[in-house]
Amino acid sequence: MATPIDVTPANEFELVIGRIIDAPRHAVWRCWTEEDLLKQWHCPRPWSVPEADFDLRPGGRFNTVFAGPDGERMENKGMWLEIVPEERLVFTDFYTEGYVPQGDGFMTGFVELSDTEDGKTRFIWGARHRNAETMKQHVEMGFEQGWGAAADQLEETAQSVGARV
């Protein structure tokens, strides 16, 4: 199980979790940036990610579909804002591919990765919201529990990837 670490939100509308993932950073990076790997872990079970479509560059698409056990379907269309290989990803649903605005948007997400001294990965995942209402909605959706479960699934997938390298 991914080990929780304390992290402090940078502002009043940010939610953030931190974990130590027992896998090398390059494997965790691949799990975030390769569609087939992201599908394996990105949504807490029993939900799944049957579709992922990326263009991994600033301004490129970051589209996923979450599927629930009772036939629920949640399409997520977004865009990559920043990509620092094996260190940082920033993405948002305020825009779609090519910086095309889309409605109000829900959040801007970020991922930060760094090495620990023992070969594991320090993983920070955060979501910045436009106001207190959307942040509260994310909390009520189960942000911490859901992303905690997804972090455990990420660790499993990254360990599998790391073992193949």
Q: Is the dihedral of CA 135, 112, 95, 44 positive or negative?
A: negative
H or E stretch covering 140: helix 132-140
Bridge partners of 101, per DSSP, are: 95
Tell me the average pLDDT across 55-63.
Answer: 97
Residue 165 pLDDT > 60: no
pLDDT at 38: 98
Residue 155 pLDDT > 70: yes
Q: List domains and CATH numbers for the chain.
A: 3-164 (3.30.530.20)
pLDDT at 164: 62
Total-model pTM: 0.92
* Packed helices 143-164 and 132-140: angle between N→C axes, nearest 10 degrees: 70
What percent of the residues of the chain are helix, what percent strand, and what percent coil, each to the nearest 5?
Answer: 25, 35, 35
